[in-house]
Amino acid sequence: MMLAPLLLLVALQEPAHQPAPSPATEQHAAPAEHGAAAAEAEHGGGHDPATVMMHHVTDQKPFYGVYSKHLVFLLVPAAFVLLFVRLAISSYKHGGVPTGIAAGVESLVLFVRDDIAETNIGHHDAHKFTSLLCSFFFFILFAALLGLLPFSATSTGNLSVTLALATISFFAQQWAGISKFGFVHHFQNLVPPGLPVWLLPIMIPVEILSMFTKPFALMVRLFANMLAGHMVITALLLLIPLLASITTAFGVAVIPVSIGLALFIMILEVLVAFIQAYIFTLLTAIFIGMYAHPAH
């Protein structure tokens, strides 16, 4: 964090004044300068603050070889979740008494099962979806926490990742109704019984649209919240080089304010990581419960 303002200050410093080139030299140098500027902007090294900001929140290709940055930090949290669970299982004492990391993992799993799954899906149906809900919770949590580390990225700040999570949630919602009522009866439950016939042309499209607005809301909510925090942190750090471009004294004076606010937002992002993991899991459980127990 202490190096970030200095790096941004160097990145956005205006180039030193150079003597004006001759028209012939300028004409021959223009294509090369254009290519260099395009390459510099592509790698996030341009002088435009917007370019620097987008470089820190968007995907980078290639990253660590042939893989994109968000793909790397999609696989890393998934591997951490598997390792975390295996360590928790191995730390159980003989007799099933949780110790160490197992006690913390068990408390979170029980929270997801009792307070999220059973409360919103029902006792008899919750066991079918507890594993999925725990996977959502732990993956989103680990992805958000790892994204706060230096030189890392938050994969859930990528719309493609949240789309995939929302799609899995969508199929789980439909499976909750189809497995319990059958394919035909599940879609019949979308329309309340005894509805006047003249309302069917209105209600059927509305109910079908609502099937897709639920996962859409999950996708956008998670993506926007994860992206917003990193945008705010980057914008706060960019205050240093932006004010330093006016005068060095302004840039030096804003350093403690900028770093202090950025650190506060980073600490707040730890809380946001838990909240977003909880909200995504909770809403998924609520939507599953709506199809498993249609209130008609």
User: Residue 258: which domain range?
Assistant: 50-292
7-27 pLDDT per residue, tens: 444 444 444 444 444 544 444
74-83 pLDDT per residue, tens: 999 999 999 9
- Number of CB atoms found within 10 A of residue 77's CB: 23
Please name the residues in contact with 263: beta carbons below 8 A apart, sequence gap of 6 or more. Answer: 1
Is 100 inside any structural domain?
A: yes
How many angstroms from the chain centroid is the CA of residue 206?
29
Is 191 inside any structural domain?
A: yes
pLDDT confidence tier of residue 44, bands split at 50, 70 and 90: very low
Q: Which amino acid is at 265?
A: I
**Cα 185 from Cα 97, distance rounded (Å):** 45
- For residue 15, the model assigns a pLDDT of 41
Is 63 inside any structural domain?
A: yes
Domain count of the chain? 1
pLDDT over 50 at 240, yes or no? yes
Is 27 inside any structural domain?
A: no
- Number of CB atoms found within 10 A of residue 128's CB: 17
pLDDT confidence tier of residue 48, bands split at 50, 70 and 90: low
Is 236 inside any structural domain?
A: yes
How crowded is the C-beta side of 234, counted as CA atoms within 13 Å?
A: 19
Is 20 inside any structural domain?
A: no
269-283 pLDDT per residue, tens: 999 999 999 999 999
Instruction: Give the residues across from 67 on adjacent strands.
Output: 63
Is 277 inside any structural domain?
A: yes
Is 19 inside any structural domain?
A: no
3-class secondary-structure state, position 63: strand
